[in-house]
Amino acid sequence: MTARHGEAPTLESVAARAGVSRATAGRVLAGSPRVSDHARDAVLRAAAELSYVTNRAARSLMTRRSDSIAFVVAEPEERFFADPFFSLVLRGVHAAVAAHDVQLVFAVLTDDAERERFARFARGGHVDGVAFVSLHGADPLPRELQDAGVPVMLQGRPLGTARDEPAPVGYVDADNHGGARAATRLLAEAGRTRIGTVTGPLDMAAAVDRFDGYRCELAALDLTPAAVAHADFSVVGGRRAMHALLDAEPLLDGVVVANDLMALGALQALNERGRRVPDDVALVGFDDIPLAGAAAPPLTTVRQPMAEMGRAIATALLEMVGDRSPRPPLVLPTEIVRRVSA
């Protein structure tokens, strides 16, 4: 379907115009050094004049590459569309991939039918690699694809692999444990002694690690968890959890919330209960989504480098397409962003 009325410039026509063979024209366009300057000039000029565009289908057929990678959100509840976190990872992946002239195929696997469809698609070699974001539990799909020979990278350590263990499939993660420790320490250093937490869904490693970090740091400070509530990384979940925390421990003076969306909900709950932030209760979020700075009061949070994670994932994937070697896990540092809430 090459534009207006089958005018389709092909490599053949470029070669003809340049007065060389198709093979030579192909060599020039592929950037081979084994071409005379004369031929190279002629081919490049002809290609420009015809505004020739390589037919990727034909190329794929020969190279058995698709020059595209998939960005997959394996999130049954479509959380993707509510949490800016995903957009930001996507941005990073997109940036890296665009720089390599590779296309990004986007997929959300909400139900089993879609999972199956995608698995077939990927196993059929229609993408050169797959980036998975937001895995729950011990999802077998990434491993399956990897075993089928498709390069795979994960955002976030898969559940079932310990933090210091070699992983069966490559991943890029943020230092969730360290970030949560830093958040907890920040509250303690501000003199808070009754520190609670709102965790994320514990079928995700990120939530588990942040929870562990919180407990670990409290223990190091000779404190005990004042109250713990579990939620699902959503605003309403955070609000509900904050209410539960206040019910369980009325004297609460600090909270580590496992992501910003929940922290927004927590802020709302604290407001409803008449607690001032940070005067009565100090709050630290996690992620540093764009909205965090616009909250009332602006949220102190643990920044995780979402776009960079995306970039790292895409870069690793692109390399794996070439050499097919597995990548060691990459854990990027987090950083406290101090605003008003703590």
Partner DNA sequence: TCCACTCGTGAGAGCGCTCTCACAACGTCG
Partner DNA sequence: CGACGTTGTGAGAGCGCTCTCACGAGTGGA
Residue with tokens 């490599």: 11
φ/ψ region of 150 (left if φ > 0, alpha if ψ in -120 to 50, else beta) reads: beta
- Quick one: what does residue 35 bind among its own copies, DNA, none, with the CB cut-off 5 to 8 Å set by partner type? DNA
CA–CA dist 54, 137 (Å, integer):
42
Q: Footprint of DNA on residues 22-41 (CB under 7 A)? A: 22-24, 26-27, 29-30, 33-36, 38-39
CA–CA dist 270, 323 (Å, integer):
53
Part in contact with DNA (CB under 7 A); list of ranges 9-17, 104-112, 232-240, 260-268:
9-17
Min dist. Cβ of residue 333 to its own copies (A): 21
38-47 CB burial, b ≥16 within 10 A, e <16: ebbebbbebb
Amino acid 183 reads: A
Is residue 8 a contact point for DNA (CB under 7 A)? Answer: yes
Contact 127, 70 (CB under 8 A): yes
Three-state DSSP state, 31: coil
Min dist. Cβ of residue 232 to its own copies (A): 13
Min dist. Cβ of residue 105 to its own copies (A): 5
Part in contact with DNA (CB under 7 A); list of ranges 59-67, 95-103, 219-227, 298-306:
59-67
Part in contact with DNA (CB under 7 A); list of ranges 19-27, 82-90, 161-169, 200-208:
19-27
For the CA atoms of 117, 120, 123, 128, the dihedral, rounded to the nearest 10 degrees, stands at -40
φ/ψ region of 288 (left if φ > 0, alpha if ψ in -120 to 50, else beta) reads: left
CA–CA dist 241, 62 (Å, integer):
55
- Quick one: what does residue 23 bind among its own copies, DNA, none, with the CB cut-off 5 to 8 Å set by partner type? DNA
Min dist. Cβ of residue 281 to its own copies (A): 15
User: Is residue 37 classed exposed, middle or buried when 0-12, 13-18 and 19+ CB atoms within 10 A define those classes?
Assistant: exposed
- Quick one: what does residue 229 bind among DNA, its own copies, none, with the CB cut-off 5 to 8 Å set by partner type? none
Min dist. Cβ of residue 106 to DNA (A): 24
- Quick one: what does residue 114 bind among its own copies, DNA, none, with the CB cut-off 5 to 8 Å set by partner type? its own copies
Min dist. Cβ of residue 87 to its own copies (A): 4
- Quick one: what does residue 185 bind among DNA, its own copies, none, with the CB cut-off 5 to 8 Å set by partner type? none
Looking at beta carbons only, is 47 or 312 nearer to DNA?
Answer: 47
User: Contact positions toward DNA, by CB under 7 A?
Assistant: 2, 8, 10-12, 20-24, 26-27, 29-30, 33-36, 38-39, 52, 54-55, 58-59, 61-63
